[in-house]
Amino acid sequence: MDLGTITVRLAVEKDVPAIAAILAGDTVGGHGDTADPSALPDYLQAFRQIEASTNERLYVAERGGEVVATFQTLVTTTLSGRGSSSMIIEAVHTRPDCRGQGIGAEMIRFCLAKAEQNGMRLVQLTSNAARKDAHRFYERLGFTASHIGFKIKLK
């Protein structure tokens, strides 16, 4: 595998199995992701919904022709901040065998540049409280832990 150039691009449907496999490698999140082919229809349905959205984008990072990471962005406009728009970065995952090689930083730089080009007020993300290494990573990239998030699981 080429250890050089990282290409960030919009995901296409043929990337879905590789994305599912990356998500399934997450041992902290507990989202129930799997690379089992029987789950592929669920992932394809979600992919098509994201692809149809005007505010969401699903990306992959590729190196040497292989999908090695993924993330999703959402643009939201609120009345606060005088009606400004913000980018939310979600589901940032790098293949376990490719971590620590600058791929995540390249993806975040991509997001920051895209947000700046589009006049966004801010870029935000959440990270599982157990992911201490990820928190240090985001702080090194200039993010600050400024808010506390809350969730209720419905399913």
Looking at residue 84, its pLDDT comes to 92
Average pLDDT score, the chain: 92
Weakest mean pLDDT among 49-63, 76-90, 124-138: 124-138
Amino acid at 52: A
Q: 83: which residues sit within 8 A by CB, 6+ positions away?
A: 77
Amino acid at 120: M
Looking at residue 2, its pLDDT comes to 46
Looking at residue 70, its pLDDT comes to 97
Q: Is the pLDDT of residue 31 over 80?
A: no
Question: Can you give the chain as a three-state secondary structure string?
Answer: CCCCCEEEEECCHHHHHHHHHHHHCCCCCCCCCCCCHHHHHHHHHHHHHHHHCCCEEEEEEEECCEEEEEEEEEEEECCHHHHCEEEEEEEEEECHHHCCCCHHHHHHHHHHHHHHHCCCCEEEECCCCCCHHHHHHHHHCCCCCCCCCCCCCCC
Q: Is the pLDDT of residue 1 over 60?
A: no
Q: Is the pLDDT of residue 128 over 80?
A: yes
Q: With a threshold of 0.85, does the pTM exceed it? A: yes
Looking at residue 151, its pLDDT comes to 85
Angle value at C-alpha 15, between 135 and 108, nearest 5 degrees: 25
Q: Is the pLDDT of residue 154 over 70?
A: yes
Q: 36: which residues sit within 8 A by CB, 6+ positions away?
A: none
Looking at residue 25, its pLDDT comes to 85
Tell me the backbone φ, ψ of residue 152, rounded to 5 degrees: -130, 120
- For residues 85-100, average pLDDT: 94
Q: What domains are there in the chain, each with its CATH number?
A: 9-140 (3.40.630.30)
Note whether 33 and 16 are within 8 A (CB). Answer: no
Q: Is the pLDDT of residue 103 over 90?
A: yes
Q: Is the pLDDT of residue 50 over 80?
A: yes
Looking at residue 88, its pLDDT comes to 96
Looking at residue 3, its pLDDT comes to 56
Looking at residue 148, its pLDDT comes to 86
